[in-house]
Amino acid sequence: AGAIIAGMVAAGRKGVANMKLFAAGGVGLWWCLLRAGVNADVAGVVAALCISTRAKVRVPGGEMESLSLRAISRLEPLSAFGIMPLFALANTAVQFGGSTAGAATTAAAASATALGVGAGLLIGKPLGIFGFTWLATKSGACRMPVGMNNDHLAIVGLLGGIGFTMCLLLSEVALPAPMQALPKLMILASSFLASLLAAVAMRKQPMLKQKPA
């Protein structure tokens, strides 16, 4: 693993603009970390950090493009719409079972926790985003972009209520295994509802007209 990291660092320092090289290094590092029992997710982060921001590649039109920007533009859709949702759903691992008194008590406690999780995502996060941003703009600490109003800010708050990977991870860290099922389901349901409400609110907003150049 150390040799792979050293090789990628050296390639990055020399400005090597070969994405396949860093991809192969990332895969190799992932395998080494996995075999060593270390969190293998770090491999992707390390590989990305090794890519030089000065490395350039030529696009079909003949112009030069940053290698890091090309990697972001190509990997972002795959990450956002493929890897992240699959990762989150695979790690949900919701299971139901057990009819003992202990299981019933655990389910009751988990339901209260789940309600708190849902309230935090659907109420707490939108109110926090809207409230603190509104206060910051009113106090003069910052200002919203040109053309943005409070309706747009409220939509941003609703979008902030979409909790996915981090919420699922925190539920695993903060709660014992028997109490994780209902909060995880609430995270998925609240995220879906928040995205639906945001989509409906955006549909009601007038379309922005492009100003002629």
Digit-by-digit pLDDT tens for the chain (213 residues) are 889 999 999 988 888 888 888 889 999 999 998 888 887 778 888 988 888 878 887 777 777 878 888 888 888 888 878 887 777 777 666 554 544 445 544 554 557 888 898 899 999 999 999 999 999 999 999 999 888 899 999 999 999 998 877 788 788 788 887 777 788 888 888 888 999 999 999 998 887 665 554
Residue 184, C-beta contacts closer than 8 angstroms, at least 6 positions apart: 92, 93, 94, 168, 171
Is the distance from CB of 68 to CB of 55 less than 8 angstroms?
yes
What pTM was estimated for this model as a whole? 0.62
The two three-digit tokens of residue 15, written as one number: 């400005």
The CA–CA distances, whole Å, from 133 to 70, 122, 148, 152 equal 33, 17, 12, 12
Query: CA 202, CA 2: separation in Å to the nearest integer?
Result: 48
Relative to beta strand 56-58, strand 64-66 is antiparallel
